[in-house]
């Protein structure tokens, strides 16, 4: 039985695979639509269909980022698990997100950490 830290690390690696598959299927459909001389309506339909796996993959990746590990407040060092909506709406660079800490109620760039 693996501990939570190892499982969270695996989940965060799995997140990259999910994002890659979503992006790959999107690019594959766009290339298919661009390569063949299709009608404009069909190209538009394929583009919209291509977005679906990308959106599903992005939502799943955000869920993984929310539940795997913790976020550490830059102001007070409090570690916490944020809500899905706050992770979804937060501007970010990689896994560092600009969110409000539930303890000190300050906005800051919170880093992802695997341990409390
Ligand atoms: Zn804080």
**Based on the domain organization, do 87 and 31 belong to the same domain?**
no
Q: Per residue in 46-104, pLDDT tens? A: 889 989 999 999 999 999 999 999 999 999 999 999 999 999 999 999 999 999 999 99
Q: What is the Å distance from ligand 1's center to 31 Cα?
A: 46
pLDDT digits 0-9 by tens, 7-55: 999 999 999 999 999 999 999 988 888 888 888 899 889 889 989 999 9
The model's pLDDT over 103-115, given as tens digits with 9 standing for 90+, comes to: 999 999 999 999 9
Which residues constitute the domain of residue 32? 1-68
Distance, CA 107 to ligand 1 centroid (Å)? 8
3 state SS of 112: strand
- Say whether both 51 and 29 belong to one domain: yes
pTM of the complete model: 0.85
Same domain, 77 and 62: no
Q: Measure 77 CA to ligand 1 centroid, in angstroms.
A: 6
62 and 83 assigned to the same domain: no
Q: Looking at the structure, do residues 46 and 6 belong to the same domain, yes or no?
A: yes
How far away, in angstroms, is 80 Cα from ligand 1 center? Answer: 9
pLDDT of residue 10: 93
How far, in Å, from the CA of 67 to the mean position of ligand 1? 19
Residues 80 and 61 in one domain: no
Counting the structural domains of the chain, the total is 2
107 closest CA partner among 89, 12, 115: 89
């Amino acid at each position: 039985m693996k501990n939570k830290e190892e499982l969270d690390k695996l989940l965060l690696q799995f997140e990259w695979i999910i994002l890659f598959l979503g992006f790959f299927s999107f690019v594959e459909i766009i290339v298919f639509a661009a390569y063949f001389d299709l009608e404009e309506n069909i190209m538009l339909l394929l583009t919209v269909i291509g977005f679906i796996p990308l959106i599903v993959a992005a939502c799943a990746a955000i869920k993984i980022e929310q539940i795997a590990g913790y976020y550490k407040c830059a102001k007070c060092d409090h570690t916490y698990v944020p809500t899905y909506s706050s992770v979804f709406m937060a501007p970010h660079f990689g896994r560092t997100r600009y969110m409000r800490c539930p303890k000190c109620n300050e906005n800051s760039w919170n880093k992802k950490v695997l341990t409390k």
